[in-house]
Amino acid sequence: MLGVTVVVDEPVVDGDAETDGDATADGDAEAETDGGVRTYTVRLELVDEPGELLRALSPIADNGGNLLSIHHERGNMTPRGHIPVEVDLECPPDRFEGIVEALRDAGVNIIQAGANRYGEEISVVLVGHLIDTDLSNTLNRIQEDASAAVLDLSLSAPEGTEPVSSARVRLAIDSADIDDTLATIRSIGADKDFTVVEPLPGGEA
């Protein structure tokens, strides 16, 4: 898998800011009153279409974030068939939530943002006619209805697509929502008539 890293040497900001220290005095003063500038990592899922990366990066710059680096793995598709992109940026802490909201408003799928988006990973096992019941739709519902991010999928279908198959799905979730997340996955399983093997407390499924 070929990962392409793009490093932005100069911060991306709004306006015709110059690169010398005097020209950024106003911005520095504002950053100091906001508690200083911190570095954050945002993990995104992008559709493999022209212009998607630029569309995802624009809300960051438009809301006061400085791009530091971009890791764009075109050869590594997520289970949903999207491209994972990891963005390192810096901004005052009180602007970070605004950047995240702007990304969501732009329709960008956020897997993780800073340390607060998803604080825990769990694995569940799905057993049933997973292919016949549209596995892609199942994963989409888990992400949308259960407020989880699908990090990895391991599918076992030794006899083809028709018989019963199983899949281990690794999820990133908010640790405060684990009960609701599992309840939603159970509901999806009931709708599609497959079994959900849940993780044991403190362990994996």
pLDDT 10s digits, 53-93: 888 889 999 999 998 888 876 666 776 778 888 888 888 98
pTM of the model: 0.48
Per-residue model confidence as pLDDT tens digits over 19-39 = 343 433 344 433 333 457 888
Q: Quote the tokens at residue 168.
A: 């281990």
The neighbour count for residue 186, using CB atoms within 10 Å, is 15
d(CA 143, CA 182): 12
DSSP 48: S
Per-residue model confidence as pLDDT tens digits over 139-182 = 888 887 887 777 788 888 766 656 789 999 988 787 778 899 99
Question: Alpha carbon of 136 to those of 14, 142, 143, 185: distances in Å?
Answer: 39, 10, 11, 14
**Ramachandran angles phi, psi of 83, nearest 5°:** -100, 125
| Residues contacting residue 159 through CB under 8 Å, at least 6 positions apart | none
Q: Quote the tokens at residue 124.
A: 């569940």
d(CA 198, CA 135): 18
Is the CB of residue 167 less than 8 Å from the CB of residue 185?
no
**Ramachandran angles phi, psi of 122, nearest 5°:** -135, 160
Is the CB of residue 113 less than 8 Å from the CB of residue 42?
yes
Domains and CATH numbers, the chain: 4-113 (3.30.70.260), 120-197 (3.30.70.260)
d(CA 93, CA 29): 14
Can you give 116-171 as a three-state secondary structure string? CCCCEEEEEEEEECCCCCCHHHHHHHHHHHCCCEEEEEEEECCCCCCCCEEEEEEE
